[in-house]
Chains A and B, each alone.
Chain A
Amino acid sequence: MILQRTLTRLLTMIATLFGVAVVVFVVIRVAPGDPISMMLPPGASQADIDRLRALYGLDKSLVEQFVIWLTGVVHGDFGTSISLRQNVLGLVLGRLPATLELSIFALLIALAVGLPLAVLGARERGTAVEAGIDVANGVALSIPDFLWGLVLILLFGVLMPVFEISGRVSPQLDLPFTTNFYLFESIVRLRFDLTANLLGHMFMPALALALPLAAIIAQLLKQSLKELLTLDYMVLARVKGFSETQVILREGLKNAALPTLTLVGVQFTFLIGGTVIVERLFSYEGLGNMAIDAVVNRDLPLIQGIVLVFALLFVVINLVVDMAYALLNPRLRHG
């Protein structure tokens, strides 16, 4: 039973990734713009152009190209970046940790802001406090992440310069890291001076990404909590002598978290999508920033590699959300 479900799940994931691979492969080749013309100076001879096309396999048919690429991918070879002349897999894996750290930090900020607001709003339902939270949520939600990025740069980078506005870490620092998970490694190595520096760089882009998500969490969770508050087991908990906050936290939060969780999973993938522009804005050396360069340079293998990694990330997040859902809901656990 469990084996069968896991197998189905795995096949669905592979099918999803294959679909993404087909779409991205076709779209970037059909779209106007030619990587070869980006690489050669204007006025290059037709012979040179043809030679370069042959070198990158672009002279073959679309299907042939796809089969060659997919065979490579299955064997762990994602090809060579046209603009950077390096192994795509190495490039992508080199940048992925930076983006993962940024996204997870943003998710943590969103939870740290959204959860308490939801509980407070549910407890103070019908009061000015709840109205204030609603307004704040509306504002946070209706301004997109990249615009929040600009606002934050203006506030905390220019007017009141407390945070770094560019890069992932100060370039003059000597980094002892062996992996690219800088933040994680700095904590494990107890180099909190570096942790502080990394967080100083990461804070504003993370906050820009987090604000809309925080608003979604606060609003949705507050609503689910309010619906639960009139249920019999909540009333019973009040009769038992628990305070309103205790009732919400002990009896409500876990049940209200279920509908919120699904949406947070979806929204988190949007957040990762948002890193593409926000990383650019803050010159943060992550995968998203690299994606923009790859698109500008028509670096087909690199675009494919990055998109595939993003797709893999999304699929994994969905899997994690489903598992967390089953964990929170005892009725789904055996079956």
Chain B
Amino acid sequence: MSAPCLEIEGLSATLANGVRVLRSVSLTVEPGEVRALVGESGAGKSMIGKAVLGVLPPSIRVVEGRIALEGTELGKLAPRASRALIGARTALIPQDPLTALNPSRRIGPQMTDRLVKILGWDGTKADQRIRKLLDDVRIREPDRVLRSYPHELSGGMRQRVLIAAAFAAEPRLIVADEPTTALDVTVQKQILRLIVELQREHGTAILFVTHDLGVVAKISQKVTVLYAGKVVEQADTAALFASPQHPYTRALMAATPRYTDPMASLRPVDEAVLAGLSAEIATADRNWKPNARGSGHD
């Protein structure tokens, strides 16, 4: 068996004041697999995605643990080499399509710049590739879209553009950071379907960050449930929905509205469960000593 597409082992991160925001997170994403990373806002899901892509804000420090892309450990590479590897093997589908495109540059160059400037593709080849992907995401007027500025496109169109751009360089791993959260409900479904379609066609592994268990059920094969920067439960998606093991997971599921009787089924996460988890985490934090050797990342 070859190395997993992404392997995170014992990853801990703190704020500048020493408060832990990630607590020994370990997870793997196998080639071609979609792993959902689910949790409430503030649980650290997006932070894990950013750590993988090497774009954590300077206020957050990785203090221990390792991240490996296809067997290559990022922390052991020089910053330039690690950035080159991330640029070549991964891509990001960002949360908010309204702010993820540069307002003063046309769509075309924003989609092809990685191919041409980083991967050294020929301009014509890059253009053909982008047009093929725009067709895949059902954009019918590629000429107009490529010439447009971001403000001339709708939110859904922009997210399609960003999805097409993410798949363009055939990355092995895509981090999708809540890619449908900022969109209308009607558009959300279309966008999810497009991501799944392209993922199957290209065999790309996806780390899919979301707070929406409904999305998890539709899109992923594996799930990691996160609470306060700590992995609570990991399982096959089907198994998790069939029989959630951890009380927090069960509580989270109970808090998700059902179509049949939305109000009756809707319950906030049980406070006893949260209190238990918080106590557990506090004890762990007291006994935790950051591992000096693991501070190589930045």
Contacts and interface: CB of A to CB of B under 8 A. Distances in A.
Interface of A: 126, 230-233, 235-236, 238-243, 250-251, 254-255, 328-331
Contacts of B92: 235-236, 239
B218 interface: no
Given A230-B57, A232-B96, A331-B151, A239 B86 contact: yes
A245 B15 CA distance: 26
B18 interface: no
Interface stretch (B29-37, B110-118, B228-236, B285-293): B110-118
Interface in B52-79: 53-55, 57-58
Contact of B114 (A240, A254, A255): A240
Contacts of B86: 239, 241
A330 B96 contact: no
B87 A241 contact: yes
Given A236-B94, A243-B80, A254-B105, 12 more contacts: A232-B94, A232-B96, A232-B99, A235-B50, A235-B94, A239-B86, A240-B87, A241-B86, A242-B117, A242-B118, A250-B113, A254-B104
A240 B83 CA distance: 9
Contact of A239 (B57, B87, B95, B101): B87
Per DSSP, are chain A's interface residues mostly helix, strand or loop, or mixed? Answer: helix
B284 interface: no
B144 to A, nearest CB: 14
Interface centre among A126, A230, A238, A329 (most CB of B within 10 A): A238
Given A232-B99, A330-B149, A243 B83 contact: yes
Given A241-B114, A242-B117, A331-B151, A233 B104 contact: no
Interface size, B (range): 20 to 34
26 contacts: A232-B95, A232-B99, A233-B99, A233-B101, A233-B102, A235-B92, A235-B94, A236-B94, A236-B162, A238-B54, A239-B53, A239-B54, A239-B55, A239-B90, A239-B92, A240-B87, A241-B83, A241-B88, A241-B114, A241-B118, A242-B87, A254-B105, A328-B104, A330-B151, A331-B149, A331-B151
A235 B55 contact: yes
Interface in B267-286: none
Contacts of A235: 50, 55, 92, 94
Nearest to A328: B104
Given A233-B99, A240-B87, A255 B104 contact: yes
Given A239-B86, A243-B80, A251 B102 contact: yes
Nearest to B114: A240
Contacts of B151: 330-331
B207 interface: no
A126 B58 contact: yes
B46 to A, nearest CB: 11
Contact of B100 (A232, A243, A328): A232
A140 B148 CA distance: 42
B3 interface: no
Nearest to B99: A232
B123 interface: no
Contact of B118 (A240, A254, A328): A240
A236 B117 contact: no
A302 B142 CA distance: 62
B192 interface: no
B239 interface: no
Interface centre among B86, B87, B91, B118 (most CB of A within 10 A): B87
A251 to B, nearest CB: 5
Contacts of A243: 80, 83
B187 interface: no
A243 B79 CA distance: 10
A242 B87 CA distance: 8
A332 B55 CA distance: 32
A231 to B, nearest CB: 6
B103 interface: yes
B84 interface: yes
Contacts of B105: 251, 254
A255 B110 CA distance: 15
A250 B102 CA distance: 10
